[in-house]
Each structure stands twice: as C-alpha cells, then as structure tokens.
Amino acid sequence: MIKAAVSGAYGRMGKMLIDNIVNSDDFELSAAFDIFNIGNDAGELSGVGTVGVPISDPENMGEILADTNTDVMIDFTAPDATVQNVTAASENGVNLVIGTTGFTEEQRNTIEQFIMKNNNSAVIAPNYSVGVNVFFKMIKEMSRYLSDYDVEVLEAHHNNKKDAPSGTALKAADVISETLGGKKYVYGRQGHAPRGDEIGIHAVRGGDIVGEHTVLFAGEGERMEIKHQAGSRQAFAGGAIKAARWITGAKPGIYTMEDVLGF
Ligand code: NAP
C-alpha cells in the first residue's frame, strides 16, 4: 500500500483527493493537513465516512509525516503554504505531487531547490487532467503548422479561483512560445492596444466553472480553436493520484505530468 498524505485536505481538491485515496485498492490515507477543522476526521469532512485520520495542523507536518511513514504527499493549497509544506515534506524524505498554481518565480525556485537538495522526487504540474496534457501536445503541433497566425489563449474558472491567468493558460502560452522561438505575452487588452506579434492571454472568472482553456489560432480568412473543458475536479484528482502512484517508484528529480503519462 502507498501511504499518501493530503495537504489542503478541507479544500475543493483536497476533499476529492481523500475520496480517491480512500476508495482505491493501493493507497492508504496516512495523514491530512489543513488550517481549519484541525482534529476533525478527514474522511467525515470529505463525505466518505470515518477514516480515523484527523486533520492535523501543518505546523506539525514534518513530525507527522515521519511518524506515519508517509511515502507521498499531495499538496493542493496556496503558493505560500506549498513552499512551507514542501520544506517539511522534503526534509523528511517524502515524495511530492504539487498541484498548487500561481507561484512567483522565486517561490518556484525555492521549491525546486529544496526538492533537489534533499534528493526527493516530485511531480509539479499546473494541470493534472490527462486531456489537458494531450491538449498541450496538440497546441505544440498546431503552432508549428500555424506559425504566422495570431494566437490568443482564453481561460475561464469559478469565482473562487485566486490566481489569474491560470497556470494552465500560462503553460499553454509557454508551449507555443517555446515552439515559435519566444513570444511576448499581453494580458487582456484595454485602451489603445494594437495587436503586435504577441500571445494574448485572457482570464474569465464566474460561477462554478471548473476550468476551460481555449487556444485560438487566427489567420487571414480562417481561424482554428482547440478547447478543453473540465466538467468535474475528478479530472484533476484522478491525474494527481496517477502521479502519486508513479512518483513513488521514480528516481530523485522533478517531473511533469508529461513524464507521468509517458509522452
Ligand atoms: P481551496 O478550496 O481554496 O483549497 C485549498 C485548501 O488549502 C483550503 O482548505 C485552505 O485553507 C488550505 N490551506 C491553506 N494553507 C494551508 C497550509 N499551510 N497547509 C495545508 N492546507 C492549507 O482551493 P482548490 O480549488 O482546492 O485549489 C487549491 C490549489 O490547487 C489552487 O492553487 C488551485 O489553482 C490549484 N489547482 C490545481 C489543479 C491542477 O490540476 N494542478 C486543479 C485544481 C486546482 P483556507 O481555505 O482556510 O485558506
């Protein structure tokens, strides 16, 4: 059995991850962390019934991960929290699956340095859905053929999402930019804003939209769009569980979802 801990256990993703772990044949929930509901049963809060694992204070994370012999921790929290949590997990030899998005470059570097210094294994991905990772492959291919078309990346998410644009939209722009030898990004447009040779990136926030990403390639007299729509957070949770299974047997290093899926 793979002993997995969930950080952000009372969050939208955390609850779904606990449900997946508890209902899998090869995982066991070893620990759960959140800043609210400390002491309450993680299973009851997730709606899967009593599992005998309380929500613990992230302040005690290192000690609890060591005591429970946790193999992997899945963290879907917030950028500052993830930096702290990676430190605690990494120092205790726990592998990581990081789903949090919205890191600054400095935060991302700190996380990577910690993982490398402690010889850990981690998957870091802005989007764990299998479909989105196929979408990344497709837009890479499309941008090769449509290299002189205008490119716009559009994303839509629920009204509680804190970072904008989404990590997935940024990764989509990066995939295209790398393929085309480097592009400038323009975030939204306002006032006098003539189009240049940029990738435009636009974020919509509203209601309970789980996550939508569209890349538009617009040329003279025609346009092509490729769109991914997540209908449920299970698309991300299922992928994160795949990543947790995969990272448990991986050599030390930092991996992406493409590595997990063998692309
Ligand atoms: P959410 O519902 O706000 O959940 C985050 C949870 O983490 C909250 O319960 C939060 O508590 C808790 N938390 C805050 N600080 C913590 C700490 N130090 N240790 C442990 N838990 C802590 O958000 P969500 O929708 O689940 O998303 C979480 C993150 O995952 C976001 O960055 C989001 O963009 C990202 N995400 C990524 C993917 C992907 O596939 N990579 C998919 C979906 C979401 P409070 O509410 O009290 O702050």
What are the domain boundaries of the chain?
2-124+234-261, 130-230
Joined together, the tokens standing for residue 208 give 């309970």
Mean pLDDT (whole number) for 65-89: 97
**C-alpha 198 to ligand 1 mean position (Å):** 31
For the CA of 161, the closest atom of ligand 1 is 34
Residue 89 is predicted with a pLDDT of 96
Query: Looking at the domain 130-230, which fold is it?
Result: Dihydrodipicolinate Reductase; domain 2 (3.30.360)
Ligand 1: residue whose CA is nearest its atom 3: 11
Residue 161 known to be catalytic: yes
Residue 12 annotated as lining a ligand binding site:
yes
Mean pLDDT calculated for residue range 232-239: 96
d(CA 90, ligand 1 centre) in Å:
19
User: Contact, 211 vs 157, CB < 8 A?
Assistant: yes
* Residue 212 scores a pLDDT above 90: yes
Residues 6+ apart with CB under 8 A from 176: 139, 140, 143, 151, 153, 183, 199, 215
State yes or no: 5 annotated in a binding site: no
Residue 120 near ligand 1, beta carbon < 6 Å: no
Residue 192 known to be catalytic: no
* Ligand 1 contacts CB of residue 103 (under 6 A): no
User: 125 vs 18, 42, 56, 96, CA distance in Å?
Assistant: 19, 25, 25, 11
How far is Cα 253 from Cα 40, in angstroms, rounded to an integer?
34
Annotated binding-site residue? 13: yes
At residue 143 the predicted structure's pLDDT band, cuts being 50, 70 and 90, is: very high
Is 73 a known ligand-binding residue? no
Q: Where are the alpha helices (DSSP H) in the chain?
A: 12-22, 42-46, 61-67, 79-91, 105-117, 130-145, 167-179, 234-247, 257-261
C-beta 46 within 6 A of ligand 1: no
Mean pLDDT (the chain) is 97
Residue among 3, 15, 140, 157 flagged as catalytic:
157
Taking residues 230-248, what's their average pLDDT?
96
At residue 7, the pLDDT reads: 98
214 Cβ below 6 A of ligand 1: no
pLDDT at 249 over 90: no
Q: What is the pLDDT of residues 100-113, one digit of tens each?
A: 999 999 999 999 99
Q: pLDDT tens across 27-76, in order?
A: 999 999 999 999 999 999 999 999 999 999 999 999 999 999 999 999 99
What's domain 2-124+234-261's architecture? 3-Layer(aba) Sandwich (3.40)
Residue type, 180: L
24 three-class SS? coil
10 within ligand 1 shell (Cβ under 6 A): yes
Q: How far is CA 87 from CA 30, 33, 80, 84, 111, in A?
A: 18, 14, 11, 5, 8
CA atoms within 13 A on the CB side of 64: 21
